[in-house]
């Protein structure tokens, strides 16, 4: 990695830790450059202002999240061709990943920037909205694949169900930090997984039995 890129990455790493710990508004440029060991002009070489820093943080966070989801649900796809089992296994693996974090989940950068949206310009707010939609869509696409194979007995809006999964994860992060109990997050993720299983599993089992009897 070139020195300039390494410095930029280091600034983003420091900034993300600070923002997750105390919020974007309470994170100053001065503390970032002090920890990074660079001058203020060095900071402004990489980021025009704090809005530009926020944009860089979100891009980096989104890339990391995409890699995580691709890895975990890619492993789930290797374990099963069945769309329901693929989703259930993926959610279990994701919960296990969260449970393995030694100090618990550090927090969601997108959520923090949603809470402090008045600090940002229209472009940053639009990025936050789009990232949230993509987060929901990740689960909706998988749920659409499940419905195509296992139509539920009761009507299911896959968009709403996807948001429930996302809310269980984001809400689990908040509650685990509020209670000082990292176990709350994987617990709530598995509750969401089991809810999805209850919606589709009876139909899935019935369909498998019909195929076996044919």
Q: What is the mean pLDDT of the chain?
A: 92
Is residue 23 classed exposed, middle or buried when 0-12, 13-18 and 19+ CB atoms within 10 A define those classes? middle
Judge contact between 176 and 105, C-beta under 8 A.
yes
Judge contact between 46 and 134, C-beta under 8 A.
no
Cα–Cα distance for residue pair 124/181, rounded to 1 Å: 31
Average pLDDT over residues 172-197: 97
Q: Are residues 40 and 65 in the same domain?
A: no
Cα–Cα distance for residue pair 136/162, rounded to 1 Å: 6
Here the tokens at position 3 are 């020195």
Per-residue pLDDT tens for 91-106?
999 999 999 998 899 9
Q: List, in order, residues 6 or more apart from 145 with CB less than 8 Å away.
A: 83, 86, 87
In this model, does residue 148 exceed pLDDT 80? yes
- Provide the b/e sequence for 181-200 (b: ≥16 CB within 10 Å): ebebbbbbbbebbeebbebb
Per-residue pLDDT tens for 24-62?
999 999 999 999 999 999 999 999 999 999 999 999 999
55 lies in some domain: no
In this model, does residue 203 exceed pLDDT 60? no
Q: Are residues 21 and 88 in the same domain?
A: no
Domain harbouring 169, CATH code: 1.10.357.10
Tally of domains within the chain: 2
Here the tokens at position 196 are 């999805």
180 lies in some domain: yes
Average pLDDT over residues 125-149: 97
Instruction: State residue 119's pLDDT score.
Output: 84
- Domain around 152: 61-213
Helix/strand/coil for 62:
helix
In this model, does residue 67 exceed pLDDT 70? yes
87 lies in some domain: yes
Instruction: State residue 87's pLDDT score.
Output: 98
- For 178, half-sphere exposure in the C-beta direction (CA atoms, 13 angstrom radius) is 7
Cα–Cα distance for residue pair 40/6, rounded to 1 Å: 17
């Amino acid at each position: 990695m070139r020195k300039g890129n390494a410095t930029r990455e280091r600034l983003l790493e420091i900034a993300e830790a600070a923002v997750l710990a105390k919020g974007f508004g309470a994170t100053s440029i001065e503390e970032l450059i002090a920890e990074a060991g660079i001058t203020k002009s060095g900071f402004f070489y990489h980021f025009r202002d704090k809005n530009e820093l926020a944009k860089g943080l979100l891009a980096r966070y989104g890339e990391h999240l995409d890699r995580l989801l691709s890895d975990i649900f890619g492993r789930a796809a290797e374990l099963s061709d069945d769309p329901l089992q693929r989703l259930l296994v993926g959610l279990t693996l994701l919960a296990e990943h969260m449970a393995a974090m030694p100090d618990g989940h550090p927090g969601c950068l997108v959520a923090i920037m949603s809470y402090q949206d008045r600090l940002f310009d229209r472009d940053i707010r639009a990025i936050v909205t789009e990232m949230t939609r993509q987060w929901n869509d990740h689960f909706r696409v998988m749920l659409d694949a499940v419905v195509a194979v296992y139509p539920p007995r009761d009507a299911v809006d896959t968009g709403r169900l996807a948001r429930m999964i996302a809310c269980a994860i984001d809400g689990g992060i908040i509650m685990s930090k509020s209670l000082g109990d990292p176990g709350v997050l994987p617990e709530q993720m598995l509750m969401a997984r089991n809810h999805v299983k209850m919606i589709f599993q009876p139909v899935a089992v019935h369909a498998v039995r019909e195929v076996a009897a044919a």
